[in-house]
A and B are shown apart, each in its own frame.
Chain A
Amino acid sequence: MNEIRGSSENLMDEQIDIKITALYKSYFALVRQYIVNNSGTSDDAKDIFQEVALLYFKMCQKPTSSQIVNEKYYILGMAKNIWLKKIKEKGRYVNVEFNDHDDSIAAIDEMPELIQTNALIDIVLNKLNEISDECRKIIYGAFYLKQSAVEIASTTGYSESFIKVKKYRCLQGLKRLVSGSADFQNLQT
């Protein structure tokens, strides 16, 4: 079986694409079969799998990902949980079983919470558009993908020591833009 997880902390765009495509090829059929057998459609399965792919990607960035025993059941566990939430929202009843494998249950316990947008986050998003491309890339690598300075240096062409300094400066620059904005000041009062 293909192991999708592993070194996701090293991922950059192209590698992310390769890994996610592999995830689809290995497990989409399984997830679709489950969704279709539980009152869903093929389109529902596509929506659910998008969420699964994002959450799994985030899971792999956490140090606890090494505890995932069986990737297949882990993915299926996440899909079941998301599907259960969706059908509850729609007010439908489906008997969803979680007894296939331990990892199905582990997936539910450990699923990362996605950040919900709010007024403050909207300001950060706006200000992220105002910083330089270079800083955005470094921030994405350092604070989202959690890459080391060496990894970022290898994709940007800068030296490791430069990245170490730059990542703080970029974040500080972003923070100053946010806290200096009128919208932010208004929210504080």
Chain B
Amino acid sequence: MDKNIQMEEDIVRFLEGDMNEEECKIFESRLESEPQLQKLLLEYRTIIEGIEFWGDEQVRSSINKIQKDLEEKNFFKNGKSVSSGGRSGGNLISMNGFKYLIAAAILIAVSTTVFIWLTPDKLNGSELFANYNKLDREQLKKDIERFNVSGLISGMQAEDTIKQALIYLESGNFTESLKLLENFNVDKPGIPIVQYYLGLNHLNLGRFDKSGPIFKSLCSQKSFELASDACWYYALQLIHNNADVELAKSILSDLSSRNTYNRAAEAKNLLSKLEH
């Protein structure tokens, strides 16, 4: 390994506390005699501090969002922070409140019935699904390339399996692709990208009962890089099944507002078709 790269790895291991006592002693004595190492250590210390600061900001923004969500759910209202299953003196519903509750329930039931009665005539879910369900070939190519490790790390059988599955998928051979990914999933379950392509195969084979839960779950995983695509396919599936078109609309509305999402325009277009 390049001497400088090795030196930098040693610094990171030292800063991260990954060195054992003996390694630490050797490293510290090297610091006294190697000004270059000292300089690099200072630079890396700044980088790690910057990452720490940036990470704190990420968590802070998650906390902010959670607080806003809780605010919308009236969690902070009237000095009562209601935890799930909590009981308070307000459990007894007054007669008036009860009447309003009944009235609201009837109203919701009537509007839901009218909505269900009207929707199938207006919406041909299968047709829309067929028009919009297309493979993102560019993404697929990138992922095939990603699992083509180019000799960086040798003997990566797992990557070969995924790569072959994606090649099958690209050529429209969903059954073979599914077989490979399902086998892989037995050995290493829960890997998001594998789940995603499993979902895509199920979807294209019309196995919506299998693809639905997969895309629903991936759609909510913000850290998953193809989460937006998972949301897209989840919305398409909902439309196909005429299952929860309002939810599909809200997903599409969210996707169409994401400037960096490559299907934002398509999402907007599909949304407008659903609304008219």
Contact = CB atoms under 8 A, between A and B. Distances in A.
Interface of A: 12-14, 16-17, 20-21, 24-26, 28-29, 32, 36, 42, 46, 49-50, 53-54, 57-58, 114-115, 117, 120-121, 123-125, 128, 133-134, 137, 139-140, 143-146, 153-159, 161-162, 165, 168, 171-172, 174-175, 178-179
Interface string B76-109: 1001110110000000000000000000000000
Contact of B51 (A32, A36, A124, A157): A124
B80 to A, nearest CB: 8
18 contacts: A14-B221, A17-B65, A21-B66, A24-B66, A24-B75, A29-B81, A29-B83, A115-B52, A117-B53, A124-B50, A125-B53, A137-B225, A143-B52, A143-B55, A144-B52, A156-B193, A157-B193, A175-B47
A179 B43 contact: yes
B63 A50 contact: yes
A138 B275 CA distance: 40
Contact of B152 (A58, A154, A162, A178): A162
B3 to A, nearest CB: 14
A32 to B, nearest CB: 7
Q: Sort A-B residue pairs by CB-CB distance and give the 7 closest, nearest first.
A: A124-B50, A144-B55, A157-B193, A29-B81, A13-B222, A115-B53, A13-B223
A139 B53 CA distance: 13
Interface stretch (B5-13, B28-36, B204-212): B5-13
Contacts of B55: 140, 143-145
Nearest to B189: A154
A161 B270 CA distance: 42
A20 B69 CA distance: 12
User: Which of B66, B146, B191, B193 is packed against the most chain A CB atoms within 10 Å?
Assistant: B66
Interface stretch (B124-132, B153-161, B245-253): B153-161
Contacts of B223: 12-14, 137, 155
A146 B158 CA distance: 25
Nearest to B58: A140
B272 interface: no
A162 B162 CA distance: 15
B191 A154 contact: yes
Contact of B47 (A58, A133, A174): A174
